[in-house]
Amino acid sequence: MGSGAVPSVERIDRSQWKPEEYDLLYHFVHLDRVANAVITEPGALQGWFGEALWRHYSYAPFNGRVMENYHSLAFFYGYEAPWNIYYRHPALLERLSLALEYTFGLMGENGAIPEYATYEMDTPMLAPSSFGMEYMAAALEVAGPVLPDGLRRRLVEQARKAAVFVLTSDESWEHARSFTNQFLGAMAGGARLARLTGDEELMGMVRAAGDALIGDFMSPMGFLYENNGPETFAYFFVTLHRLIPLYREWPDPRVREVLVRHCEWMQRWMLPEPDRPDIVLSGSHQTRTSGGASRLVPLGEVGMGHMHTTKDQRPRMQRGLSALLGEGSSPADVLKLFLMTAEEEAAYRREWQAAGPDSLDALRDSGLAAGYAPVSTLALYPLYAPPAQEVAAAREALPCLDPAPRAEVLSDDRGNQYALFRQPTYHTALAFSTHASAANHGPAHLWLDGAGTLILSRNGTGPCWETVLGNPRTGGEGTGKALGLARVREGRGGHEVLVRYPEWGLGKTYVIRPEGIDVQISARQAADGRALYERVPLLLRGSDVIRLDYGTCPAAGMSDRGLGVVTRTVGIEREGRRLLTLDLGQPVSAMLLPTYEPDGSVPTELVFSPAPLFFSRTGYRLVVG
**Domain limits, the chain:** 18-377, 402-624
User: Mean pLDDT in runs of 10 for the chain (625 residues)?
Assistant: 83 95 95 98 98 94 98 99 98 99 98 96 96 99 98 99 98 96 98 99 97 95 97 93 97 98 98 95 95 76 41 63 94 95 91 87 86 94 95 97 98 98 99 98 98 98 94 80 97 97 94 98 87 96 98 96 97 98 97 94 96 82 97
624: left (phi over 0), alpha (psi -120 to 50) or beta: beta
CA distance 436 to 440: 9
In this structure, what DSSP letter does residue 64 have?
A: G
In this structure, what DSSP letter does residue 299 have?
A: G
| Model pLDDT, residue 514 | 98
| Model pLDDT, residue 490 | 97
Distances (CA, A) of 99 to 49, 51, 157, 260, 452: 8, 13, 16, 39, 51
Asked, as a colleague might, if the bond just before 274 is cis with ω within 30 of 0, I would say no
Architecture of domain 18-377: Alpha/alpha barrel (1.50)
| Model pLDDT, residue 529 | 84
| Model pLDDT, residue 312 | 40
| Model pLDDT, residue 318 | 83
CA distance 439 to 431: 9
| Model pLDDT, residue 474 | 67
Amino acid present at 94: E
| Model pLDDT, residue 310 | 38
Cβ atoms of 620 and 584 within 8 Å: the answer is yes
CA distance 476 to 533: 9
In this structure, what DSSP letter does residue 560 have?
A: T
CATH domain 402-624 topology: Beta-galactosidase; Chain A, domain 5 (2.70.98)
CA distance 75 to 78: 5
| Model pLDDT, residue 366 | 85
Amino acid present at 272: P
